[in-house]
Amino acid sequence: MKNKTLWTDTEGKPIQAHGGMILQHKGIYYWYGENKDTETVNRHVDFIGISCYSSEDLENWRNEGIVLSPVVNNPAHMLYTKNICERPRVLYNKSTKQFVMYTHADTADYYYAGVNVAVAASPTGPFVWLKSFQPNRQDSRDMTLFQDLDGSAWLIHSANYNKTMNIARLSDDYLDVTGSYISIFQDQEREAPAIMYSHNRYYMITSGCSGWEPNPSLYGICDHLIGPWKLIDNPCTGPAYRTTFDGQGTCIFFVQNQPYVLLDHWHPDDLRSSAYSMLPIQISDNGGLKIEWQDETFFTNSKRREGTS
Ligand code: GAL
């Protein structure tokens, strides 16, 4: 797929899954993201739903429709169309057999700063909203979820007006926080967290805080999820490495053992046309991360790559 373009689904329609994440479940990839297919006004779109696309090969994406719908008639509801619902993240809870979705929940002025929790029996929804809240009474803006090797789940969110990043343990059913959390990257003003475990370490890639405008990424490392975390460097190399290739990381996913980062290339004046990239993440022998720009990423069709088809 050509990077930094707006990819299309199996019906030829633009994929509306911005600020998204990719979940692998029973051999299928599910891509959840913000559907922004509506008019941009003052660099903002109404909340029109969270989309889901499914794929077996990461290249052909089937539109599974809106899996979390907006509430159109109740301004007091966090899913109200005029509110913010961003960065959906879904985990499967083996014990409850539920798919649990968290999103950034906010008012249009980004003042509320909390999360929405919704559940579904199937990865393609429909997700039923359960509640909105501020985790551990902390403000929460950009966020992600992470499932550790032992099945425990963690909410990683920008807090304290984006000055720190919190890592908060979720309850066993994933539906709540437990009161146990740490604050990392203090005063570093990081957001858009994307996390992975690889080579016996945890890695977190974050962006700086400049809204839709791209900025340098930084990655952090630690041996245990709850720290101590250490910020290392910008993992990007190649043209536009200082602006994350004019993008912002949103999630990390694995294909076999190879990690990839999914980027958003935001178009603030027409958000629905914002583009995507998927780039492999390299881990060097000393544990450093490197993300090199490449114009195209192929997951399948190796014949096409070799020019033999
Ligand atoms: C970015 C954030 C996006 C969106 C945007 C709004 O910093 O990563 O998810 O909230 O700000 O300006």
pLDDT digits over 177-230, tens only?
A: 999 999 999 999 999 999 999 999 999 999 999 999 999 999 999 999 998 999
Q: Ligand 1 centroid to 122 CA: how many Å?
A: 28
Q: Ligand 1 centroid to 211 CA: how many Å?
A: 5
Structure tokens at 188: 């570093």
Q: Which of 139, 190, 191, 274 to mutate to test the pocket of ligand 1 (most atoms within 8 A of CB)?
A: 191
Q: Give the span between the Cα atoms of 34 and 21, in whole angstroms.
A: 10
Q: Ligand 1 centroid to 12 CA: how many Å?
A: 27
Q: Ligand 1 centroid to 257 CA: how many Å?
A: 30
Taking residues 270-292, what's their average pLDDT? 97
Q: Give the span between the Cα atoms of 175 and 178, in whole angstroms.
A: 10
Closest ligand 1 atom to 209 CA: 7
Mean pLDDT in the chain?
96
Task: Indicate the helix (H) or strand (E) that contains 301.
Answer: none
pLDDT tens-place string over residues 248-267: 999 999 999 999 999 999 99
Closest ligand 1 atom to 248 CA: 8
Task: Give domain status of residue 184, yes or no.
Answer: yes
Q: What pLDDT, on the 0 to 100 scale, is given for residue 308?
A: 42
Q: What pLDDT, on the 0 to 100 scale, is given for residue 300?
A: 77
Cβ < 6 Å from ligand 1: which residues? 19, 86-87, 142, 191-192, 209, 211-212, 248
Question: Above 60 in pLDDT, residue 302?
Answer: no
Q: How many domains does the chain have?
A: 1
Task: Give domain status of residue 180, yes or no.
Answer: yes
Q: Ligand 1 centroid to 126 CA: how many Å?
A: 25
Q: Ligand 1 centroid to 209 CA: how many Å?
A: 8
Q: Which of 18, 86, 189, 269 to mutate to test the pocket of ligand 1 (most atoms within 8 A of CB)?
A: 86
Which DSSP state fits 136?
G
Q: Whose CA is nearest to atom 8 of ligand 1?
A: 192
| Cis geometry, peptide bond prior to residue 280 (ω within 30 degrees of 0) | no
pLDDT tens-place string over residues 132-162: 999 999 999 999 999 999 999 999 999 999 9
Task: Give domain status of residue 12, yes or no.
Answer: no
Q: What pLDDT, on the 0 to 100 scale, is given for residue 307?
A: 45
Structure tokens at 249: 């990381």
From 116, 178, 104, select the one nearest 140 (Cα to Cα).
Answer: 104
Q: Ligand 1 centroid to 86 CA: how many Å?
A: 8
Q: Which of 209, 210, 212 to mutate to test the pocket of ligand 1 (most atoms within 8 A of CB)?
A: 212
Q: Using the Cα atoms of residue 40, residue 108, residue 71 and residue 69 in order, give the sign of their dihedral.
A: positive
Task: Give domain status of residue 297, yes or no.
Answer: no
Question: Above 60 in pLDDT, residue 303?
Answer: no
Closest ligand 1 atom to 43 CA: 12
pLDDT bucket at 306, cuts 50 / 70 / 90: very low
Task: Give domain status of residue 5, yes or no.
Answer: no
Q: Ligand 1 centroid to 127 CA: how many Å?
A: 23
Q: Give the span between the Cα atoms of 51 and 179, in whole angstroms.
A: 31
Task: Give domain status of residue 219, yes or no.
Answer: yes
Percent of the chain residues topping a pLDDT of 90:
96
Question: Above 90 in pLDDT, residue 301?
Answer: no
Closest ligand 1 atom to 86 CA: 9
Task: Give domain status of residue 1, yes or no.
Answer: no
Task: Give domain status of residue 307, yes or no.
Answer: no
pLDDT bucket at 239, cuts 50 / 70 / 90: very high
CB atoms within 10 A of CB 9: 20
Domain that holds residue 192: 18-292
Structure tokens at 269: 């004046």
Q: What pLDDT, on the 0 to 100 scale, is given for residue 190?
A: 98
Question: Above 80 in pLDDT, residue 57?
Answer: yes
pLDDT bucket at 309, cuts 50 / 70 / 90: very low
- CATH label of the domain that carries residue 262: 2.115.10.20
